[in-house]
Chains A and B, each alone.
Chain A
């Protein structure tokens, strides 16, 4: 007996057909459909997926979400900062000098500063959770898919890209829902270009120092730059190394549902805690290593400490960008966690507090260097925790190293471009 001969066609097709036939037969006797009602979902979708209004409404909702995440969290960031500041002060009283410094500056100072960025990240995840639970996020992905398809990205890349604004780690983990291997790889490779929450303190410091009233615009430009670069690199990868069409985007649009506060908080919590666990260990380790490398050899001053030595050694490479050993040293530390760059600059200049650091920066560098530094921070090698996640998600060192090279080279090139433009426009 041969299957093909008996059936006359591919058994797989016949089986699928028979299953569907059976389903229809069964449902014909046990399901009565009733008149199709015009539901709340239909009403909402009329506007949310509207040809003209769909995208503006999408922009409005996401703008509102970002405003919520960054503005409503501001006082809470201060509260955390205050708390750790008090702890740092208290530990100054410890008799052993090295121990006091370790606990005060190393642990409480470093860790505390880093933890102040939990509120915006959590608030952002809460916003995303609410949009997700209500069912709107599926529509957003659907709308974005039309655009993303043209850019060589898959519609399902949208949510991971969005999460990247909070933290790249849960964002990269979210790529698991993307089916095509190439689609997923491209999304993973470009995700670090999306400006995560950790880079914000660096932008705020630099922009605040150099750009005065234009500071907010300068910071927004970083987000914009990140998105542009992500899109361009994705397109480039599509045309060269990872050629092919994105897999078709078939997705069910669930019915709209009022999100429950309880449910959304749980979703926020899951993503947030995951991020904390993953990133937290690196952050703490980073803070301690930073403290160690800049405090030792003991008593010698930052410039001659290990930190200073590293900075001086690498400085020549970055001279074209206008970076000196101090900036280079802080960038090396930012590899552990990008927020650390601010902390590092403080230690290197031996000053405390943002205003003091800002003052020191303005004294030593031009606004062009400042802007170059912001762009460099945005684009260069992602933090160690992200690198670890990349390795875990791709399972390959080849792609992880490729990403390291890609980000570093791109950051350098963009830095040169900015410095070049600055020179042409007449700034030193």
Chain B
């Protein structure tokens, strides 16, 4: 697959889509977590649920990080559309960051399950669904991009 106008355009659209999603959910995490952060306990948005499961946690700093990832993706859009291969750097690093955050959240979930198994005090009421968050499931959408950025070596030459 050569990096031509059509491919560039497709990747630009994809990067835009993923970037916007990360940024939006980042903002949502901030809004939901705002109350806790400033100590008032009142979030700016109540919560986001899918089939009764909370999928966006309150987390101001975590939200900022998601926005950063989104911005990285978005920065590459212009160059990708113009078939400038340097734009692929942003897809690569965006995917890398998304993967790292996915990994970290995954490891934390695993660690929490260890706490649950041992029935320690802080984990008595923990369910794995508690740890579900955009950093985890958005990465599934980011996977195709990561795959392309890493494997298409011919685009780099």
Contact = CB atoms under 8 A, between A and B. Distances in A.
Most buried by A among B88, B110, B111: B111
B90 interface: yes
B157 A37 contact: yes
B111 A214 contact: no
Interface residues of A, number: 33
Contacts of B132: none
B120 A78 contact: yes
A53 B71 contact: yes
Contacts of B110: 72
Contact of B115 (A47, A48, A74): A74
Interface string A298-324: 000000000000000000000000000
Contacts of A427: none
Contacts of B108: 67-68, 71-72
Interface stretch (A56-64, A109-117, A153-161, A409-417): A56-64
A76 interface: yes
B137 interface: no
Interface stretch (A25-33, A38-46, A373-381): A38-46
Interface residues of B, number: 36
B143 interface: no
A46 B108 CA distance: 30
Contact of A60 (B68, B86, B114, B115): B68
A64 B99 CA distance: 11
Contacts of A47: 72, 75, 89-90, 92-93
A67 B104 contact: yes
A78 B157 contact: no
The DSSP consensus for interface residues of chain A is helix
Contacts of A214: 39
A217 interface: yes
B111 A73 contact: yes
A78 B107 contact: no
Contacts of A46: 86, 89-90, 93
Contacts of A57: 68, 72, 93, 97
A64 B65 contact: yes
Interface of B: 36-37, 39, 41, 61, 65, 68-69, 71-72, 75, 85-86, 88-90, 92-93, 96-97, 100-101, 104, 107-108, 110-112, 114-115, 118, 120, 122-123, 156-157
Given A47-B72, A53-B75, A75-B112, 14 more contacts: A38-B85, A43-B88, A43-B93, A44-B93, A46-B86, A46-B89, A46-B90, A47-B92, A57-B68, A72-B111, A73-B111, A75-B115, A82-B120, A214-B39
Interface of A: 37-40, 42-44, 46-48, 50, 53, 56-57, 59-61, 63-64, 67-68, 71-76, 78-79, 82, 213-214, 217
5 contacts: A46-B90, A59-B68, A73-B111, A75-B118, A79-B114
